[in-house]
């Protein structure tokens, strides 16, 4: 009887060990070539941080024993971190990706160690102030004001200055007019706007900027519209910048559509990651959309294979991602 009891215990232990060993990727036990994956995200309070939080959870669930960590960054800084290997995966804008490959804009040399994984969703660039600021109603009114531009090294500030070129405005114009520019994470910037430390907040959302939503409960905001001719002009310059109308109702009391400039958020990876690994990273992302729809519904509703190559030259895709998109019919085989 004792031998039978011991055999039963051993059998149960064996079943438990077997079950644990088969965890990950729908029970298939997918193995990553490394046990650590660092993902370049946005700053706390940005819309990118919850995206990479959900992404980290999905990958740790689907890969056996993979530890995923997020690194606060910005669009351009994430691309630079990919280049030197500080991270292996990052989120950024298509406009910065195009600059990185050419060694222009925020990049003084070509980034040759990055490869595209896919585009995600359009990001509405929002120039906002408090509703009570009666003297700020158009772009020209912000020149002599204290402006917050988000994380330094991010794609948002680069796109802002390119947009301002359409108005003949640059950093020197603002300085000479008595204005000032500050940088930091979006939570801090929104708090500074609410407290009157800065007059203008610039940030990207899809369409809402999370940190602006959090302050508008006590401090209503207004969004500054951009001139449609200037928006059309910048969209024709192959800078990865387009335009659209911020939907009415995005913020309390703003019922009408507001014309503004847009960027596209995308993922990239290190070019030297194994093809099979990136294939699985891509496949797992697209096959687990439910996780994103439940955690970040406003952004996830735009995640679709129909727009996965928006703003991306397919030739710059990582071979692993390219293989997946060919299987899905996004690319010709």
pLDDT at 28: 56
DSSP 171-230: HHHHHHTT-EEE---HHHHHHHHHTTS-SEEEEEESS--HHHHHHTTTS-EEE----HHH
Residue that the structure tokens 């407290």 belong to = 195
> If pLDDT is split at 50, 70 and 90, which confidence band does 102 have?
very high
Query: What pTM, to 2 d.p., does this model score?
Result: 0.72
For residue 182, the cross-strand partners are 148
pLDDT tier, 19 (very low <50, low <70, confident <90, very high otherwise): very low
Residues 208 and 272 in one domain: no
**pLDDT tens string 239-251:** 778 888 999 999 9
Look at residue 106 in the predicted model and tell me its pLDDT: 86
Residue where a domain terminates, one of 263, 290, 310: 263
ω before 207 within 30° of 0 (cis)? yes
* Closest to 51 measured CA to CA, from 306, 322, 289: 289
Q: Do 104 and 221 have their domain in common?
A: no
Whole-number pLDDT of residue 3: 44
pLDDT given at position 24: 40
Which pLDDT score is estimated for 105? 84
CA neighbours within 13 Å on the CB side: how many for 218? 8
First and final C-alpha spacing in the chain: 63
**Residues 252 and 271 occupy one common structural domain:** no
Picking from 263, 281, 308, the residue at the C-terminal end of a domain is: 263
CATH of the domain at 213: 3.40.190.10
Domain assignment present for residue 157? The answer is yes
10 found inside a domain:
no
pLDDT, one tens digit per residue, over 23-64 is 343 445 699 999 999 999 988 877 899 999 999 999 999 999
Q: In angstroms, rounded to a whole number, what is the distance separating the alpha carbons of residues 298 and 23?
A: 30
Determine the distance from the C-alpha atom of residue 142 to the mean position of all C-alpha atoms in its chain, rounded to a whole number.
26
7 pLDDT more than 90: no
Question: Which of these three, 242, 263, 284, is where a domain ends?
Answer: 263
The confidence score (pLDDT) of residue 10 equals 41
Mean pLDDT check: name the lowest of 11-15, 78-82, 285-289. 11-15
Tell me the average pLDDT across 134-153.
93
Would you say residue 332 lies in a domain? no
- My answer on whether 47 and 95 are in the same domain is yes
What is the domain range of residue 314?
29-120+265-327
Q: Using the predicted structure, report yes or no on whether residue 267 has a pLDDT greater than 80.
A: yes
Number of domains in the chain: 2
pLDDT at 22 over 70: no
Mean pLDDT of 61-76: 94
Q: For residue range 212-242, list pLDDT tens digits in order.
A: 999 998 999 999 999 999 999 998 887 778 8
Q: Can you tell me the mean pLDDT for 110-137?
A: 95
Residue 7 lies in a domain: no
Maximum CA extent, the chain: 92
Is residue 247 included in any domain, yes or no? yes
In terms of domains, do 277 and 300 share one?
Answer: yes
Q: Are 189 and 198 in contact (CB under 8 A)?
A: yes
Distance CA 310, CA 159 (A): 17
Give the pLDDT band (50/70/90) at residue 4: very low
CA distance 183 to 159: 14
Tell me if 68 is assigned to some domain.
yes
Q: Rounded mean pLDDT of the chain? A: 89
- On whether both 133 and 242 belong to a single domain, the answer is yes
């Amino acid at each position: 009887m004792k031998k039978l009891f011991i055999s039963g215990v051993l059998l149960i232990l064996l079943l438990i060990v077997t079950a644990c060993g088969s965890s990950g990727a729908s029970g298939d036990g997918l193995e990553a070539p490394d046990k650590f994956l660092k993902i370049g995200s946005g700053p706390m309070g940005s819309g990118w941080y919850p995206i990479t939080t959900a992404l980290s959870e999905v990958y740790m669930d689907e890969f056996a024993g993979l530890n995923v960590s997020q690194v606060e960054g910005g669009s351009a800084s994430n691309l630079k971190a990919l280049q030197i290997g500080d991270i292996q995966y990052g989120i950024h804008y298509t406009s910065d990706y195009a600059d990185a490959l050419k060694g222009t804009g925020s990049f003084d040399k070509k980034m040759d160690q990055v490869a595209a994984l896919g585009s995600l969703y359009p990001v509405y660039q929002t120039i906002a102030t408090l509703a009570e600021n009666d003297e700020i109603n158009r772009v020209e009114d912000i020149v002599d004001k204290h402006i917050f531009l988000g994380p330094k090294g991010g794609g948002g500030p680069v796109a802002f200055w390119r947009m301002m070129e359409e108005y003949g405005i640059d950093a020197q114009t603002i300085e000479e007019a008595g204005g000032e520019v500050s940088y930091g994470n979006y939570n801090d910037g929104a708090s500074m706007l609410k407290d009157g430390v800065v007059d203008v907040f610039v940030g990207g959302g899809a369409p809402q900027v999370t940190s602006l939503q959090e302050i508008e409960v006590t401090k209503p905001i207004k969004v500054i519209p951009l001139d449609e001719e200037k928006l059309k002009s910048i969209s024709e310059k192959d800078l990865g910048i387009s335009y659209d109308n911020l939907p009415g109702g995005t913020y309390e009391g703003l019922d009408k559509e507001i014309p503004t400039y847009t960027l596209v958020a995308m993922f990239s990876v290190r070019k030297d990651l194994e093809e099979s690994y990136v294939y699985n990273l891509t496949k797992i992302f697209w096959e687990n959309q439910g996780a994103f729809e439940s955690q970040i519904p406003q952004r996830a509703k735009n995640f679709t294979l129909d727009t996965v190559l928006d703003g991306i030259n397919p030739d710059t895709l990582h071979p692993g991602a390219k293989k997946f998109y060919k299987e899905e019919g996004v690319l010709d085989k």
